[in-house]
Structure 1
Amino acid sequence: MYEVIARARAEGARFRLQPEMFHKLSAALTLLILVAIFAFGNPAFLSVNNGLTIMLQTSVIGLLGIGMTMVIITGGIDLSVGSVLALSGTVTGMLVKSGMPVLPAMFCGVIVGALCGLFNGFVITKMRITPFVATLGMMLIARGIALQLTGAAPISRLGEAFGVLGNGALFRIVEMGANGFPKVVFPGIPYPVILLVVVAILGSYMLRRRQIGRHIYATGSNEEAARLAGVEVDRTKMIAYSLSGALAGLSGIVLMSRLVTAQPNEGVMYELDAIAAAVIGGASLMGGVGAISGTLIGAFIIGVLRNGLNMAGVSAFIQQIVIGFVVIFAVYIDQIRSRR
């Protein structure tokens, strides 16, 4: 009897994974098609420097998207990540400006983001406010605090050490030219890209191999059934939102480090890019479905679109229109999959 039940569960899991895998493969195929189109239009698109530029530009959205994926899998949404990004980066910049060493200041910035996420989780689980409204409120709160702390002015002159994370690279090769000036032979792999890969691996491991990951999927699939099965649903949601906030804080630190300036106005509309990356990569807004690998593909689709359209001379306004249509199409595919 138990063997029959176990076999039925395995078959059911395999059936559920088939649409998710199909969506992920279709997203990967879309990415390859976009690369081929832009490469045909401009041979410089496939250059090493441009490829590294795309990866660097995608790293922030990728980090935000990983946290957003965990929240979406639980059946929620986090509209506050852009504002939390700005608040965490601003707090980090202020601490560095006050004399705190860079690494402890960056750690404090991540903690600020995690606390914002924890507050979101508390409001959603204990006060029973819908995720949309709760995170919308945090979006306004975090942005307001960032602007109040700085007087809406950027914090500059943070030193070279602050810019290492955002502008440094591994395996960078520089040679002295015949004219006596340094020449970059290979720009190296940017640190934000390495950080994105490490976070993606850890996130995938947590979702697929750890108990909390299984609880996140169970909560999004059927919250009441998960609760009856012994899953601490409220705790699971609070962990998911805390991770989303922490990754938003990390994204803010990376972005501010690239600018070597703390900008309280940064991160506007970034939450929509993060949601788009997750949905394009196969995460379902209904909950219970999603993967980190798919989100990375979605983030790179957005990055390739923006980079290719920039190289083609398309205005930023047209780019927003194109990406908007891509998001609508991805959500439409998700709705078809949910109905089936």
Structure 2
Amino acid sequence: MENWDEQTIKAFRKDLLTWYDQEGRAYLPWRVDHNPYRILVSELMLQQTRVDTVITYFNRFMKELPTVQDLAEAPEEKVLKLWEGLGYYSRAKNLHKAAKVVAFDLKGEWPESYDDLLALPGVGPYTAAAIASIAFEQVVPAIDGNFFRVFSRLLKIDDDIAKPKTRKVFYNAVEPIVDPERPGDFNQAIMDLGTSYMKTVDPDTLHSPVRKYNAAYRDGVEDQYPVKTKKKKPVLQRYQALVIYNEKGELLYEQRPKTGLLAGFWTLPLRPIDSIEEIDGEQLSIKPITHVFSHRKWEIWPVAKAVPTELKEGQRFLSVEEQEAIALPKVQHKILDKLKEQL
């Protein structure tokens, strides 16, 4: 690992922030101010989601729920509807819980320290550091994927970023480098650097504003950083989705359990199968609908079934209007799209 002296650190800060002031992504709507609420919403939305996708969702969310108090008082169904399509809905539920803590338990007073922010529901180390540094000028590195990639190359840090203990290695290495006068801008500059000149694929290090500090590039091994063991393949699970219309043309839905994957959401009744030979009913699709979660891959075959004599607990028929009014997970939209193809 490279160790920079104080002179190098000061020069790096100056070069990085000069570039950021000139070319940073100031157009991003959550950067118009240092409001902790806007930062929290944007950071949770940005997890697992592209920036250009988040911009539309963020602006709509802010229009409907402009303050933490508005979010705290909103029904969960409205929050999930505004989140619909972003996926990973636990983020939305935790955001809602965090807003209630700030608005009700803390009387609208935001915690300002990294440790206190970390205590909010759904706020992990990166999000806590981002809010602490950007909103409250706390000198803490906001370590995310961009951060790992940038500093693993700059300092040639060989530790495996897939291991939780590696975060501490990066934290200790970079905390002295964070600009004490502009910690929020420093962290945002690293984010922008990681999505431009120091991308995962096809980085443009030759034109990077911090090229001269890049030890991995200098030694011709940039493609070897960051060091990361491969993730396990998601576990395959197969389902048949029961497609049941009543005489009114309404479609049968079933609410999922309050815990587990897609907790509390409405989907078509999903019944697990081990193979397509177990499908019971008229198969409506030759190929399965596929949906990948972080650790699971679903294959779903829509199957037409007759109306049952009695509905189970948690089942109800929904009209098209009712389906459009509630938040549906992305996998359910995929099923509906496939059904429309059959019409």
TM-score normalised by length of structure 1 = 0.26
Q: Which has the higher helix share?
A: 1
Greater relative contact order (Cα < 8 A, sep 6+): 1
Q: Which has the higher strand share?
A: 2
The structure number with the bigger radius of gyration is 2
